[in-house]
Amino acid sequence: MVGGGGREHALALPLARSRRVDALFAAPGNPGIAKLGISVPQCPR
């Protein structure tokens, strides 16, 4: 998932609970999404 706002968190919650999803990655994510999956930090330019 790309993003780190409230909308992305709202989408991440049911995805993380789904039996069909093995892993959830978010870039850049946020602390709430990090509790549900893995936040991938942005690469420095």
1-44 pLDDT per residue, tens: 888 899 999 999 999 999 999 999 999 988 999 999 998 887 66
Name the β-bridge partners of 3.
Answer: 28
Does 9 map to a domain?
yes
Does 11 map to a domain?
yes
Task: Output the pLDDT for position 42.
Answer: 76
Task: Output the pLDDT for position 41.
Answer: 82
d(CA 35, CA 37): 6
Does 6 map to a domain?
yes
Task: Output the pLDDT for position 43.
Answer: 67
The label of the residue with tokens 């990655």 reads: 25
Does 45 map to a domain?
no
The tally of domains found in the chain comes to: 1
Determine if the pTM surpasses 0.85.
Answer: no
Does 27 map to a domain?
yes
Does 44 map to a domain?
no
User: Domain range spanning residue 14?
Assistant: 2-39
